[in-house]
Structure 1
Amino acid sequence: AADRSVTSFQAGVNKVSWLLIRFMLVMVPLVLVINGFTKSDWMEALLFALSIAVGLTPEMLPMIVTTNLAKGAVRMAKRKTVVKRLNAIQNFGAMDVLCTDKTGTLTEDKVILECYLDIHGNEDIRVWRHAYLNSYFQTGLKNLIDMAIINRAEKEGYENWDNAYKKVDEIPFDFNRRRMSVVLEDDKGKRQLVTKGAVEEMLSVCSFAEYGNEVVPMSDEIRKEALELADRLSADGLRVLAVAQKNEVPSESIFCVEDESNMVLMGYMGFLDPPKESSAAAIRALKDYGVTVKILTGDNETVTKKICNEVGLPVDNILLGNRIDGMTDEQLALETDRTTIFAKLSPMQKARIIRVLKDKGHTVGFMGDGINDAPALREADVGISVDTAVDIAKESADIILLEKDLMVLEEGVIEGRKTYGNIIKYIKMTASSNFGNMFSVLAASAFLPFLPMLPIQILMLSLIYNISCISMPWDNMDADYLKIPRKWDASSIGKFMIWLGPTSSVFDITTYILMFFVICPAVFGGAYGAPGVNGALFMSLFNTGWFVESLWSQTLVIHMIRTPKIPFIRSRASLPVLLTTTAGIAVGTLIPFTPFGYTMGMQPLPPAYFPWLLVTILLYMALATLLKTLYAKRYGSLL
């Protein structure tokens, strides 16, 4: 099988990963150099820089991503939907264009033989019999149309139509000719070539027609009459196939496409494939969630338009496969946004349309169930198939619907956007707080006579914070956030870091000043380095004060960044998030008062510290709320 194209999810994760790596490659050497020169202890500076590198790493990102995706897959499974590739969940949410085949996806996939007519529009059982022989003797995979022809014949007692014939050879179907032929020989040795296929492609090989009970040359008038009948049938919502035959067949045993010539047009077979009951509601729901639906089909444009009208899909423009072949990708790109129906497509044309849409920046889903849909299913960001699809379509798909209810598409879009939202929350809050911490560390490294926090303390801070985030996959998402397609944007993470990151640095530096000039001197009876002041204990208390303040600010910012609304009032986190963040703050605050904290170089904080801490955190939350509001107004979205 061919390699799958890179999806929107994969491209987004790669960009975000490289953004964080570049950030670390810049900041960590800076910390090393500044501490090495200012403290003159390069080994200690190296350990500190390495701990900073670990602290900068969003260690929980793989778990957060995987848990979010798995949670979405479990929820979809309850709707009897199989998610074969987990990252398809997020691509579902990012999808802003859904391309779909018509047959078996929008329609019931129960094709019924409705009529068999000569070219005058009169019922003619000979047309049906020849179509039956063609379908019965073909050795390839029998599609729904073949089965409809055969099943009705068996139901009405015509299953012996094939008894007098044996197959000599066949010319298989392909998506360029859009027809297939069988060469038969009856029990008297008479040979006949029987062909059925798409109307225009069949007319192109017919030099004669059965007209008024006789075979006559195909004139322009007869061709026009035949096309008009086919158009009327298509306008009634029927899929139309033409049937032709010829008796002048060579005695050889191997035949080829060139033998499909000078055929006699017999008439048409009309098939009914009604739309699913849920199609119209699903299309409306997708529109409400910002997803544009386009039809990519190998069928006739007239019957496709009829189905679109029945399911409430407005048709803005129709583009046929023969025109697409003459277009460059740039020309096709101009047509894709304004076109609703792409008809008479080959499998590779379907895949090409999806590729062009992706190149324009769309996240594209494709839903199909046939052999001809496999390339498009593999090209799409998210390939969707149904339980009645052929094996190759199900193999190529990312998601398989086990029931015919298309409303599961809406559920998939919502789950995908919840998944993305909870992943991007973690990335943005972690990246911005880490960015702010680096500013704080650089400032402290430049002006403090000691390390602002020991390496082991930095690692403990990172551990507690990441455990606080472990419940993020179970967080709530604001309803209005789910209405818009969401895709990965590494540049937005960079902007977010610059906007929100330095905010925490302001209050970190405030804590430095408070601890260095007020609280520590008050506890130890003098400034750092003054006679009688224990420098090690002074540094330990300073480290502890920043550890607790940094933990509070990092953890509470989870509630600030998870929503553009006012936290705790207009938008409340889920109970698991409330519990883990509260527990993280409580544990981190208590550690300095335990023997474990002592082994980590901490000491109990004086009571006077905590009023200052509360004021600092409240001011930080107020400023973060203001800045996130300004950011959302400027860039259109917080997350």
Structure 2
Amino acid sequence: GDLNRKGLRVLGVAQKTNPPPVDEFSVKDETDMVLIGYLAFLDPPKESTKEAIQALKDHAVDVKVMTGDTELVTIAVANQVGLPTDRVISGEKLMDKTDDELKIIVEEHDLFVKLNPTQKSRLVGILRGNGHVVGFLGDGINDSPALRASDVGISVDNAVDIAKESADIILLEKDLMILEQGILSGRKIFGNTMKYIKATTSSNFGNVFSVLLASLFLPFLPMLPIQLLFLGLIYEISSMSIPWDNMDEEYLNKPKKWEAASIRKFMVWFGPTSSIFDITTFLISFFLIAPSIAGGSYGSLDPGQKALFIAVFQSSWFIVSLWTQTLVLHTLRTPKIPFIESNASFIMTTITSLGIIVGSVAPYTKLGELLGLAPLPMSAWWMLIITVIAYLALVQIMKNIYVKRYGELL
């Protein structure tokens, strides 16, 4: 017991003077033996274990121990790595428990000792049934069922072959802090994926809604198909920088779950918001910008002037759509105030800036002429820039309301 309390595994060594034939050993033969002594084995935890467990706790990841070792050994090791030792239960007490009972037990205990392989696998399944995403780290033969039952089975390079075959991930480094890095990388990838999906669906929903409204009142298309394709190309190239974007530290501190319903809510909230300023752009372009360049209202112009009117109108919406679609990526990437409280990565900032520059210059080039775009005067730019700023300000307000109502943005 004293050796177990120090974290050592102990084997007793005994001698039998009249053993049976070699192939006939059984439990019955474990009698009338002379005790020779004890062998104590020390298997200390890795140096990074305590730091890794604390790092996981800091990022809202609970750590539970499921082992075949005795209670004394497990408590000794748990004390060394900073795990609580007041909630321990043995496999013997779990034998006759129903799944409903285990659903409560698995939440109320941190150390599970004297478990057999089937019990480990069953407890992992119970945790998953309780709504947890479970990662299981093991390196022995007895761990293979639990590795397969978990969401993410993790083993090490020097584990037994069956454990490595059962695992989804094999750690090649001995430093367990790699677990924290893996979790943070996964959350960052998930967060950046949600940025793209939510921003793109809301933007596309808003654009479709705007086109439908414009088609009811305009005597021409608000934007030509080739112009929409060019706009989409610039936007998608800008969006390709999102995987390299930063995530706010607050987002990385807690795990997230995929919820399709959140995408619908996001789209419904922010899609029509962009449509409001699409409509203001239509009004400004139709009644102010285009008439000032074409020489009058649309109905009073000859065919040549109408063509110029249409080109100027389409250029105005092209510019506004380009700026709002691209800049809203920066606004919706964080619940904070963009460019002040939270900045995008250098790669994202550079690529989105280049996209805005290329699209803004296009109406003044031969490419713009081929696309049916027309140059805009400086007075038009001021009106469009004010529209973009007002749109981003409204998005920030809507974003704050959305976060207060639903608790998170992405």
Structures share fold, TM-score greater than 0.5: yes
Paired residues of 1:552 and 1:617 also in contact (CA < 8 A): yes
d(CA) in 1 for partners of 2:310, 2:101: 68
Structure 1 position 261 matched with structure 2 position 28 = yes
Shift of 1:243: 6.0
- Which structure: greater helix fraction? 2
Q: 1:445 to 1:334 in 2, by over 3 A?
A: farther
Q: Output the amino acid matched with 1:602.
A: L
**Among 102, 106, 109, the residue aligned to 1:336:** 106
Shift of 1:509: 1.0
TM-score normalised by the chain length of structure 2: 0.91
Shift of 1:606: 3.1
Q: 1:446 to 1:326 in 2, by over 3 A?
A: farther
Shift of 1:369: 0.8
Q: Output the amino acid matched with 1:583.
A: L
Partner residue in 1 for 2:262: 492
Partner residue in 2 for 1:542: 313
d(CA) in 2 for partners of 1:599, 1:484: 50
Q: 1:432 to 1:233 in 2, by over 3 A?
A: same
Q: Output the amino acid matched with 2:27.
A: E
Shift of 1:438: 2.2
Partner residue in 1 for 2:168: 398
Paired residues of 2:295 and 2:301 also in contact (CA < 8 A): no
Q: Output the amino acid matched with 2:28.
A: S
Structure 1 position 629 matched with structure 2 position 400 = yes
Partner residue in 2 for 1:460: 230
SS at match of 1:416: helix
Q: Cα deviations across residues 180-230 of structure 1 (Å, max 9, x unaligned)?
A: xxxxxxxxxxxxxxxxxxxxxxxxxxxxxxxxxxxxxxxxxxxxxxxxxxx
Shift of 1:619: 0.5
SS at match of 1:349: helix
Paired residues of 1:316 and 1:338 also in contact (CA < 8 A): no
Structure 1 position 369 matched with structure 2 position 139 = yes
User: Aligned ranges for residues 414-563 of structure 1 at < 5 Å?
Assistant: 414-532=184-302, 534-563=305-334
Gaps of 5+ in 2: none
Partner residue in 1 for 2:377: 606
Q: Cα deviations across residues 469-526 of structure 1 (Å, max 9, x unaligned)?
A: 2222222222222222233222222222222222111111111111222222232233
Q: 1:389 to 1:508 in 2, by over 3 A?
A: same
User: Aligned ranges for residues 104-253 of structure 1 at < 5 Å?
Assistant: 231-241=1-11, 249=20
Q: Cα deviations across residues 540-596 of structure 1 (Å, max 9, x unaligned)?
A: 332222111111000001111122211111211121111111110111111122222
Over alpha carbons, which structure has the higher Rg? 1
Q: Taking every aligned residue pair, what percent have the same amino acid on both sides?
A: 56
Shift of 1:636: 2.1
Shift of 1:270: 3.0
**Among 60, 70, 77, the residue aligned to 1:290:** 60
Q: 1:245 to 1:285 in 2, by over 3 A?
A: same
SS at match of 2:298: coil
SS at match of 1:299: coil
Q: 1:491 to 1:265 in 2, by over 3 A?
A: farther
SS at match of 1:605: coil
Q: Cα deviations across residues 374-428 of structure 1 (Å, max 9, x unaligned)?
A: 2222232222222221122223323322232222222222222222222222222
User: Aligned ranges for residues 22-37 of structure 1 at < 5 Å?
Assistant: none
SS at match of 1:486: coil
Paired residues of 2:364 and 2:374 also in contact (CA < 8 A): yes
SS at match of 2:9: strand
TM-score normalised by the chain length of structure 1: 0.60
d(CA) in 2 for partners of 1:360, 1:264: 46
d(CA) in 2 for partners of 1:294, 1:429: 38
d(CA) in 2 for partners of 1:403, 1:625: 44
Partner residue in 1 for 2:180: 410
RCO comparison, higher one (Cα < 8 Å, 6+): 1
| Cα RMSD (Å) | 2.3
d(CA) in 1 for partners of 2:118, 2:308: 72
Q: 1:341 to 1:547 in 2, by over 3 A?
A: same
User: Aligned ranges for residues 54-93 of structure 1 at < 5 Å?
Assistant: none
Deviates more, 1:446-455 or 1:366-375: 446-455
SS at match of 1:383: strand
SS at match of 1:319: strand
Shift of 1:248: 6.5
Q: Output the amino acid matched with 2:92.
A: N
SS at match of 2:300: coil
Structure 1 position 575 matched with structure 2 position 346 = yes
d(CA) in 2 for partners of 1:350, 1:461: 54
Paired residues of 1:244 and 1:265 also in contact (CA < 8 A): no
Paired residues of 2:294 and 2:306 also in contact (CA < 8 A): no
Q: 1:351 to 1:403 in 2, by over 3 A?
A: same
d(CA) in 2 for partners of 1:543, 1:380: 54
Gaps of 5+ in 1: 1-230
User: Aligned ranges for residues 292-307 of structure 1 at < 5 Å?
Assistant: 292-307=62-77
Paired residues of 1:244 and 1:264 also in contact (CA < 8 A): no
d(CA) in 2 for partners of 1:333, 1:373: 21
d(CA) in 1 for partners of 2:309, 2:15: 100
Q: Cα deviations across residues 87-134 of structure 1 (Å, max 9, x unaligned)?
A: xxxxxxxxxxxxxxxxxxxxxxxxxxxxxxxxxxxxxxxxxxxxxxxx
- Which structure: greater strand fraction? 1
Shift of 1:250: 6.6
